[in-house]
Amino acid sequence: MTARNILRAIALCAGLQTMGQGKGDTKMDSRTVPAIACDHRYGAQATWSQSTDTSQLNSFYWAEACAFRENLALTVFDNSFAQGRAYVTVPERQEAAKSGRLSFQVYFLSDTWMNPKTGKPTRIPDYYGKVWTKAGVAAGFKVVPGEAKTTRTPNHGQQMFDVSGGRFGHDVKNGKPGREDVLTGLIEYQTNWVRTNFGACSAAGYRNGQTGASYAMPAHLLGVRNSGHNGDFSYGRSPHDEAILGTGRYPDLTPKDTASFVLTTRAGDVDDSRENVMRHCQKLLEQAIATHGWYRDFNHWHTSPRFGLSLEQFLADQRQTIGKHDVVSLDFGSALQHKFLRDMATVWAHETDAGIEVVVKFRDPYGSLPLGDFHIPLSVRVELAGTKLADRGVFSPQRCAIRRLPGNAIVVGVPFAGRACVAVIELKPTDTPSYLDLAKPRVLQTAFQDGNLLVTTDKPTRVVVFASPKGKGLRGVRPMARVHEPSTEHTIPLQPKPGHDLYVG
């Protein structure tokens, strides 16, 4: 890619430039081409997400294998602190992230603060206790040892402010910060850990469902899920006609809303029969699809099945309900990113002598979004009917991914530079187009030969080979090999494992 193309694809950051003819510009026709930011990534009809908050050995690889089987993206809200032998190691989590079905975001530790004496993250004194102790007094809390207290307190924000006499926390009622900040450092510590280990971070989940820190989150993250679930699948307003996407409980889904947003379901935590829970979730997903909303579930993988419905059954049923509907499965961070990219974008397009030029002006309408959290492009739909690109193959010289839709339309991914800017993308004809294919990959052939496992797929894919003791199914899987370089032909140094079934994802 040339330097000029990179600059045109990424940004003209001095503000919107005059789009007339000039040195190095293509002569432009006056004809406007219909183009708009998509409601959902890739121009999909609805968005689907699922998550957990631990990486335990008894369920982590089971969930990953199920995600491969159903072609669904799952999110792990993760934290940086020692978790013992029952947990998957961080290097193994990183390998799983590279394989593509699991993503990692922050599990915000509501029970932790940046210790004002040491400057390190530690448990808030007396947090889980039922009575105050000398530790609480030594920490600076205005309490009496032996006095009864509510467990899982004090939390960041108002509780911390009140119990410390204004030394810590935040007086949310009056917008007054405490004298010492014991929260910002913790948020930065946790988000930096996720970025360092997994490359990106834009969302979080609250431990214990405690949301006292929500007042501080919009400066650091695009959204934080709480523990509530009430059937909501709000996804803001459509750029097309301002129609509400989803339920409308949060019609605009602003950063204030996403600082503590509810889930659609917690399918694994409903004390009811498997059939009843499945019907309930099916109905909500059908409604989310019909209203172009964002379905989001949470499930403690490590305790599944806690009641009647297991994670494996839930994912299979959700995939069956999705069926042929155009639903995109995203991790929580990507779903939030696309929503706010959509809010920032003003889109237009016009024909040129060479094809079509798509222009996107990005501007933060809230004035407070953490722009460094974005790492996915904005999906823009462009109507080709009546243009010189109608019924022709299309490519972008800037190498932006393109999805072909029925009816002479495409969706192109327009990159965002992480600041207010204007991005310009060119679309030109080609006889050899290469389009995004979101259909589930198929394994065409597997065979052992000369000490290798040969895997052939119908499209370039990464590959994971899982092994499970015979009779255990996906619940017993462990990864035997991973290949992170996409290809249709894989030669993996691997022998059959006696007494085990092998699965290829």
* 347 found inside a domain: yes
What are 44-83's pLDDT values in tens digits?
999 999 999 999 999 999 999 999 999 999 999 999 887 8
Q: What pLDDT band is residue 248 in, cutting at 50, 70 and 90?
A: confident
State the pLDDT confidence band at 383, using cuts at 50, 70 and 90.
Answer: very high
Mark which of 430, 454, 489 sits at the end of a domain.
Answer: 430
Asked whether residue 18 carries a pLDDT value surpassing 60, the answer given is: no
Distance CA 119, CA 214 (A): 22
Say if residue 25's pLDDT is above 80: no
Predicted local confidence at residue 9, as pLDDT: 40
CA proximity to 44, closest of 405, 343, 374, 425: 405
Nearest Cα neighbor of 44 from 383, 324, 284 is 324
Same domain, 287 and 230: yes
Domain shared by 331 and 342, yes or no: no
Asked if residue 435 belongs to a domain, the reply is: no
Cα distance between residue 325 and residue 318, in whole Å: 12
The alpha carbon of residue 95 and the mean position of all alpha carbons in its chain are separated, in whole angstroms, by 18
d(Cα 73, Cα 24) in Å, to the nearest integer?
Answer: 43
Of all residues in the chain, what percent carry a pLDDT higher than 70?
94
Residues 195 and 281 placed together within one structural domain of the fold: yes
Q: Are residues 199 and 79 in the same domain?
A: yes
* Contact status, residue 433 vs residue 394, Cβ threshold 8 Å: yes
250 and 233: one domain? yes
d(CA 370, CA 316): 35
Confidence at 349, pLDDT banded by 50, 70, 90:
very high
Q: What pLDDT is recorded for position 20?
A: 30
pLDDT score, position 16: 31
Give the CATH number for residue 94.
Answer: 3.20.20.370
Percentage with pLDDT > 90 across the chain: 92
Q: Flag whether pLDDT at 332 surpasses 50.
A: yes
Task: Say if residue 11's pLDDT is above 80.
Answer: no
Question: Do 51 and 87 reside in the same domain of the chain?
Answer: yes
pLDDT for residue 82:
76
- Asked whether residue 3 carries a pLDDT value surpassing 90, the answer given is no
pLDDT tens for 195-239 read: 999 999 999 999 999 999 999 999 999 999 999 999 999 999 999
| CA-CA-CA-CA dihedral for 125, 129, 130, 131, to nearest 10 | -40
Mean pLDDT of the chain: 94
Q: What confidence score (pLDDT) does residue 83 get?
A: 86
Same domain for 330 and 395?
Answer: no
pLDDT at 13: 36
Residue 436 forms part of a structural domain: no
Using the 3D structure, point to which of 283, 318, 335 is the last residue of a domain: 335
Going by the DSSP 8-state scheme, the letter that residue 13 receives in this structure is: T
Same domain, 281 and 415: no
Residue 71 belongs to a domain: yes
What does the pLDDT read at residue 30?
Answer: 60
Residues 103 and 227 in one domain: yes
If asked whether residues 192 and 258 sit together in one domain, one would say yes
Q: Which of 1-5, 427-431, 491-495 has the lowest mean pLDDT?
A: 1-5
The answer on pLDDT for 94 being more than 80 is yes
Residue 437 within any structural domain of the chain: no
* Residues with Cβ within 8 Å of residue 129, at least 6 apart in sequence: 149, 151
Does some domain include residue 9?
Answer: yes
Burial of 428 (0-12, 13-18, 19+ CB in 10 A): middle
Per DSSP, 432 falls in state S
- Residue 438, in any domain of the structure: no
End-to-end CA distance of the chain: 33
Whether residues 227 and 284 fall in one domain: yes
One domain for residues 124 and 15: no
Lowest mean pLDDT among 127-131, 183-187, 305-309: 305-309
Q: Where are the alpha helices (DSSP H) in 129-267?
A: 134-139, 158-163, 184-198, 255-258
Q: Which residues contact 91 (CB under 8 A, 6 or more apart)?
A: none
Residue 161 has pLDDT above 50, yes or no: yes
Under 8 Å CB-to-CB from 151, ≥6 apart: which residues? 127, 128, 129, 130
Q: What is the pLDDT of residues 258-308, one digit of tens each?
A: 999 999 999 999 999 999 999 999 999 999 999 999 999 999 999 999 999
Q: Which of 128, 154, 177 is the C-terminal boundary of a domain?
A: 177
CATH code, domain carrying 8: 2.60.220
Is position 151 within any domain? yes
- Structural domain harbouring 203: 47-110+185-335
Picking from 26-35, 325-334, 391-400, 412-421, which range would have the lowest pLDDT averaged per residue?
26-35
Q: What is the number of domains present in the chain?
A: 4
